Amino acid sequence: MHNMQVAQWTDGWLQQCNHLPSPNFAPRSDINDVSVVVLHNISLPPFQYGQGAVQRLFTNQITSTEDDIFLRSLTALRVSSHFFVERDGKLTQFVSCNAAAYQAGVSCFKGREGCNDFSIGIELEGCDFEPYTAAQYAQLTVLLRAICSVYPIQAVTGHEHIAPGRKTDPGHYFQWDNLRNQDLPVVTDYQWPVVG
Ligand SMILES: [Zn+2]
């Protein structure tokens, strides 16, 4: 994103990034209750970057004729994320933030299950075994500020924190202090099992 002093949004779409609309979303039960950001990592095929396969996965374009056997195994998946930050910092949005993307799955935050309904998902291109890039941290910070400027975000957390035992991303190498140092509301205590 450039010139991000003022983030511009239209119907939940951030205007300062690429848009690749995904059909994989659901209405939110309360459009005014978007209070959590969930960070993830993804690489497709696993541990490969810049292949375009993540964008194809989120738009249901992975087919049974893929050369890669792992990609072929994903043909029936219907998943998405609001945002994807590539290794070079390139930002793409797939789902309006006013709708629920299919990103968190079975999850729980502060006793509330089904985090998709009230969260925004950001996928960082990466894996659990390698540091993220400076360009990704820079873009992520700008994106989080843009989100916090229009949504009442109370927590930025990890998929591993809302689905522990099931998910491990963004993983050991993600530098939460990078966000804490910029006064973003980081929450990294584990939110499972369901309380109350
Ligand atoms: Zn995840």
66, 113, 123, 160: the catalytic one is 123
Domain boundaries, the chain: 9-180
pLDDT value of position 5: 64
**Mean pLDDT throughout 18-24?**
98
Q: What are phi and psi of 25, to 5 degrees?
A: -160, 165
Catalytic-residue membership of 66: no
> What is this structure's pTM?
0.95
pLDDT value of position 9: 97
Overall fold of domain 9-180: Lysozyme-like (3.40.80)
| Spacing, Cα 129 to ligand 1 middle (Å) | 14
pLDDT value of position 155: 98
Is the confidence at residue 43, as pLDDT, over 70?
A: yes
Using pLDDT thresholds of 50, 70 and 90, give the confidence band for residue 194: low
DSSP string of 14-81? Answer: ESSSEE---S-EEE-S-TT---EEEEEEE-SSTT--SSSHHHHHHTT---TT-SSHHHHTTTT-----
| Spacing, Cα 11 to ligand 1 middle (Å) | 25
DSSP character at residue 132: P
Residues 51-110 pLDDT 10s: 999 999 999 999 999 999 999 999 999 999 999 999 999 999 999 999 999 999 999 999
Is the confidence at residue 196, as pLDDT, over 50?
A: no
Q: Which token pair is 185? A: 């509301």
| 60 Rama sector, left if φ>0, alpha if ψ -120 to 50, beta otherwise | left
| Spacing, Cα 66 to ligand 1 middle (Å) | 23
Residues 135-166 pLDDT 10s: 999 999 999 999 999 999 999 999 999 999 89
| Spacing, Cα 68 to ligand 1 middle (Å) | 21
Q: What are phi and psi of 139, to 5 degrees?
A: -65, -40
| Spacing, Cα 173 to ligand 1 middle (Å) | 14
